[in-house]
Amino acid sequence: MARQSQLIRINFTGGIISPGYLLQLLEIAEAAKAGEVRFGLRQELFLEIAQTQLQKFAAACKTYHISWQPAEDGAPNITSSYPGANIFVADSWLTEGIYKDIFDLFNYQPSLKINICDSQQTFCPFFSGHLNWVSSPHQHYWYLYIRRPGEENTFCWPALIYTNSIAALSRELETRLAGETPEAIAQQPPEYISRPLDQPLELPAFHLPYYEGFNRQGNQYWLGIYRRNETFAVDFLKDICTVCLETGIGQLYATPWKSVIIKNIEPAHRKLWDYVLGKYNINVRHAANELNWQVADNCEDSLILKRHIIRHFDTADVRTYGLCFSIRVKEAGGQFGAILIRRQENRYQSRLKYMQRYDILYKADFNPNAAGLTVYRNNVLKEHLGPYIVSLCKHFYEIGSEQPVLQQYARQQAPPVVRVDEKPLHQCPGCFTVYDEAAGDPFREISPGTAFAALPDSFSCYICGTGKEDFEEIAAASLRHPAV
């Protein structure tokens, strides 16, 4: 039977999207009868075009110089941690300008998956590409980890590479990896600027920042938008682009979590964003255990499985902070996730759903960027996935609780005796949320014992967004509470 539609992929280098470019693309898609689009794991855009509209769509894209390709063919997108710059990463030499300089160096279309990431962040996968560039402590020098297509293991290049050599070396490696191993290439490398690799890459402890909703960014806001079914209505994104253009926002960002981020929103313009979100009934406060999933692109079976497991999480009231889950329908190298659910291929061919079986695996130290997989359970029915994964989550926290941290802390610290009514508290005047220095703020990743004066200027109330400067110091006995 002839295909009724064509799945199209649009690459946005590094996840950077021009609102004007996207608006033109959406208008072309709308004229071709496409009502919705999806974002992918590699920060690209997918849309489905009916075969009867494909010629019209292609002609319009050519007119407006919009590059597209069939989703199953063509070159992969260059992914990066650029969307998290200045909101999830601070005090890094890898600035937005350096990212753009690197992207401009790629004067060819890579045929391998290339990742460009800041070593201080955990928002974007480090090693899900074939050529994985990770910033080093030395300004403008990078680690390079190579993973050949279809393989799991990575090879660390035996030198740090200078920024201006990234594109040229990537191009050379693409040609040579087809017939040589990374180890052999490193023995007879091409010319490039480098410095000695003086220390191994230290992977940061994984945590996924909450990437949804309105959040403070200095004196401005950033907005993250996630869709439970992964689909974004064309009309909604058109309005998003229009607001960006009218308020002087020059970039949107696609993330590896199939979401969208808008930065540099002025407080005076927030009402416009509230209007658009309300117009399309967009919810922006989903549970964290729903946001920490990597699901195969355009795969409804994987989404159904994700929803099934999340329902079990809710019933079991399980903690998942610090974990990342991944569903792998087909074998593929470079999968990102602390806990992986993999469907067995020999069962996939069966038309009987009850015949399908799954394997549950996890990464070393439960770090989704780590190498190697350990099998937790094999040949698991769908109905049993939830209980097993809940048990594995509890195992993760049991491992983390093995060290006598509290006892060690008690021996090292001699905390002064403070009367309860003398403990310094700071309260939000808007919703009466309290910042307790002894407890910190787990919603903002602020450790217990952090003084209010030591909080960054960007600190805000996690409920209503009130800034640090408006919090009031108050005695515990004088705490105010919202009226009921």
The per-residue DSSP string of 411-480 comes to HH--PPP--GGGS-EEE-TTT--EEETTTBBGGGTBPTT--GGGS-TT-B-TTT--BGGG-EEE-GGG--
Instruction: Tell me if 218 sits within 8 A of 457, measured CB to CB.
Output: yes
Instruction: Tell me if 476 sits within 8 A of 425, measured CB to CB.
Output: yes
Question: Taking every pair of C-alpha atoms in the chain, what is the biggest distance, in angstroms?
Answer: 78
Per-residue pLDDT, 461? 81
**CATH architecture of the domain formed by 420-478:** Single Sheet (2.20)
278 alpha-carbon distance from chain centroid: 25
Per-residue pLDDT, 415? 55
Q: How far is CA 458 from CA 215, 220, 470, in A?
A: 9, 9, 12
Give the list of residues 6+ apart from residue 193 with CB closer than 8 angstroms, or none. Answer: 161, 162, 164, 165
143 alpha-carbon distance from chain centroid: 21
- Put simply, whether the predicted model's pTM sits higher than 0.75 gets the answer yes
Written as six digits, the tokens of 463 are 């409920």
Per-residue pLDDT, 474? 81
Q: Which regions in the chain score pLDDT beneath 70?
A: 1-2, 330-333, 346-354, 402-423, 443, 476-484
- The phi-psi region of residue 56 (left if phi > 0; otherwise alpha if psi is between -120 and 50; otherwise beta) is alpha
CATH H-level superfamily of 213-288: Sulfite Reductase Hemoprotein;Domain 2 (3.90.480.10)
Q: For residue 319, which phi and psi values (nearest 5 degrees)?
A: -85, 135
Angstrom distance (rounded) from CA 367 to CA 324: 8
At 2, is the secondary structure helix, strand, or coil? coil
Per-residue pLDDT, 65? 96
Question: Which of 127, 107, 130, 116 has the alpha carbon at shortest distance from 178?
Answer: 130
User: How many other CB atoms are there within 10 angstroms of residue 136's CB atom?
Assistant: 19
Written as six digits, the tokens of 129 are 């590409």
At 13, is the secondary structure helix, strand, or coil? helix
Per-residue pLDDT, 464? 75
Tell me, which fold does domain 291-400 have in CATH? Sulfite Reductase Hemoprotein; domain 1 (3.30.413)
Per-residue pLDDT, 462? 74
Angstrom distance (rounded) from CA 179 to CA 185: 10
Give the list of residues 6+ apart from residue 218 with CB closer than 8 angstroms, or none. Answer: 457, 458
Per-residue pLDDT, 418? 44
Per-residue pLDDT, 427? 86
Residue whose pair of structure tokens reads 């590479």 in the numeric block: 161
DSSP 89: B
